[in-house]
Amino acid sequence: MQAVLDRRPKLAALIAGFLSATGFEPLKLWPVTLACLALLILLVERAPDRRAVLARGWLFGVGHFTLGLNWIAHAFTFQDAMPHWFGYGAVVLLSLYLAVYPALAALGAWWLTRRFASGRTLPFLLFLAACWIASEYLRAAVFTGFAWNPLGVIWLPTGIAIASTLIGTYGLGALALLASGALFLAARRDFKPAAAMAAPLLALALWGLLAQAPATPAGAPRIRVVQPNIGQDEKYSAALEEAHFRTLAALSGAPRPAPRLIFWPEAAIPAYLDMEPAWRARLAALLGPGDLLLTGANKVYYKQADKGGYSETVLAGANNSVWIVTPDARLPARYDKAHLVPFGEYLPMRSILQPLGLSRLVPGDADFWPGPGPQSLTLPVAPGRPEMRMGVQICYEIIFSGQVVDAANRPAFLFNPSNDAWFGSWGPVQHLAQARLRAMEEGLPIVRATPTGVSAIIDARGHVLRALGPHHAGFLDGALPPALSPTLFARLGNWAAFLLLLLLAGLAIATRGSSR
């Protein structure tokens, strides 16, 4: 190992980054991630100049994202507009870009340490944790952002994830760097600073293990989550449309005396509900007097186009929406997805990329249009169910920390309909993990409905109360878990992580004279 570090530091960084991704779902080897980050710390500390620092941080990121995002290649097998093998190239190309962010974090910490702390070790570790916050926030924001698998997700199997209620997901990533820094110092027999860094983490772990979600009260709204097990290869088949509806209807069950909230997945039905009263009537027929159906279905827009001297109505665009359907076939509200998936729901730079043969992974020629952002929809009152507000985050939107709730109109819960059928085996469980962090951060329960799994009922502490695994048709019945009071993070948003960044930077400067 020592020979590899001395003679092949770039190879060591690449391998360490690759192994570090095993801390995420489905492997959950979070101690391996911490050890790999400690190795990155050593490689950056030994780097002779800023170019070497940047290269080692970037190669670490290339390995990290290439393994962690392997599920993206699976998505390309469900379309024929581009070669399926291009999916593997897409994973590597995306990783080459995303690796810029850990590289910038490493370079920023290296430069700040030499500028303000004369290259000392303890300040470097604190600066690195601070810079990691900044780099992950930028990764979630630049070019519309790609916030998948932030480092803090590795803490979910431990009690330390409870810190997300205070400092959010990006703050959790800084804690991972501090834990790795403590390992690094302990390996050097600098036990006093190592213990000082580890003690707060142990306190957080104890708090997380002891924290409990509030009990669900008697009389809480009854919910049913439907998972029809309709694969991506069948989803858009016109020949199977009626069979799919029958499956959804059967799994929704017969109406009962108590009112229910019934949740169907993203784009569960092909109908344009506001334009097709017959479809609304079919859905309403499934509902009892107090029931509501919350289902994914598109909202479409048309325009008049000049076709060589005559006008023709053509599709202009669409919203990826969630609709509320009542027993009397009304549509009292809908939510339009705001954070769309590049290359999935729209083609960036279409005028340039389409002539090159690139296309969207979702069928159709017209792009989806974004909605206005987080909103709370008011659910109609029913006997036995008080008026309540529901927040909605469709699929990919749930991964963006601090961007999922209308803070001025706080909902009672979040609904996260998704289509994870094209995410392979790693993607769905990683998606669920990130939804659990949103529940913890905001102190809100989350209901997830997906066509092929993982569908789940998640309480306000991020615990999965009930779940349906991949490739299984079924339903989840239960009571809606209660919300907590707004957490510190729910009140401050990502400003909480920025305050931690400033605290870490201040501590780095304050300790510059007390470390080797």
Q: List C-alpha distances in Å: 442 to 145, 413, 446.
A: 21, 10, 10
**How far is residue 159's CA from residue 322's CA, in Å, rounded to a whole number?**
34
Phi, psi dihedrals of residue 378, rounded to the nearest 5°: -85, 125
Asked if residue 494 lies in contact with residue 170, where contact means CB atoms within 8 angstroms, the answer is yes
Q: Which of 337, 397, 441, 442 is catalytic?
A: 337
Asked if residue 459 lies in contact with residue 213, where contact means CB atoms within 8 angstroms, the answer is yes
Type of residue numbered 7: R
- 387 an active-site residue? no
Strand 222-227 relative to strand 260-263: parallel, antiparallel, unpaired?
parallel
DSSP-derived letter for residue 22 is: G
In angstroms, how far is CA 225 from the centroid of its own chain? 20
- 3-state secondary structure string, 176-232? HHHHHHHHHHHHCCCHHHHHHHHHHHHHHHHHHHHCCCCCCCCCCCEEEEEECCCCH
**How far is residue 260's CA from residue 264's CA, in Å, rounded to a whole number?**
13
- Taking Cα atoms as reference points, which of 479, 481, 471 lies closest to residue 442? 481
Q: Which of 25, 131, 299, 395 is catalytic?
A: 395
- 266 an active-site residue? yes
- Taking Cα atoms as reference points, which of 263, 317, 303 lies closest to residue 287? 263
320 CB contacts (<8 Å, ≥6 apart)? 266, 267, 296, 298, 336, 337, 340, 345, 368, 394, 395
Q: Which 3 state secondary structure label does DSSP give 437?
A: helix
Name the percent of the chain in helix, strand, coil, to the closest 5. 50, 15, 35
**How far is residue 218's CA from residue 457's CA, in Å, rounded to a whole number?**
17
Length, in residues, of the chain: 516
Type of residue numbered 255: P
DSSP-derived letter for residue 157 is: T
Helix residue ranges, H only, 316-387:
350-353
Type of residue numbered 183: L
Q: Which 3 state secondary structure label does DSSP give 289?
A: coil
- 276 an active-site residue? no
The single residue listed with the structure tokens 């391998």 is 15
- Taking Cα atoms as reference points, which of 59, 41, 202, 213 lies closest to residue 126? 41
Write out the E strands in 260-310. Answer: 260-263, 292-306
**How far is residue 144's CA from residue 137's CA, in Å, rounded to a whole number?**
12
- Taking Cα atoms as reference points, which of 448, 157, 141, 92 lies closest to residue 296? 448
Q: Which of 25, 136, 266, 441 is catalytic?
A: 266
* Catalytically annotated residues: 266, 337, 395
